[in-house]
Amino acid sequence: VKLTKDALVGNKGDGFKICMSMLDNTRLSSAARAVGVARACKEHSVRYANEREQFGQPIASFQMIQEQIAEMYVEEEAARLLVHRAAVNRDKGVKNTIEVSCAKFYAAEVAVRAANTAVKIFGSYGFSSEYPVERFYRDAKSFQIVEGTSNIQKMIIARNALGLK
């Protein structure tokens, strides 16, 4: 396909820079979706733990379940705050690639941990299509891959922390 010169987006030679600047937006969006998956895992786990009974009592009364729910709660909250801070600064026009990479990396990891925990809380039902946590597990894993893998995010963060380019 041949295009005319007026079809050029930006300046000649700036294509890579433009694409890379858009990655901050798409990574931030991915991070926000990962927080949503983590939240859904937590909410479904809380509901299930209150409904599911073992030994004549809801599994929510078991200390290990409470610990798992507490960890899901704290991690989701921390990921949400990282994403929120990055989004606020992005809206202000601040170039914040490192902040976005931190949010994307952490939110993806939190989503995977939350999904893994939800599957454990649900037991064998965690893999059943009768409950949404099996889908959340697949969805969560995708956030470690799309818009730059978790390893890429760590590389960006580390290079910044070490003062490397």
Active site residues: 147
Task: Give the closest residue to 148 by CA, choosing from 31, 27, 18.
Answer: 27
Q: Is 150 exposed, middle or buried (0-12, 13-18, 19+ CB in 10 A)?
A: middle
- Residue that is written with structure tokens 């901050």 in the block: 24
Q: 50: which 2 tokens?
A: 């209150």
Instruction: Find where tokens 């893998």 sit.
Output: 149
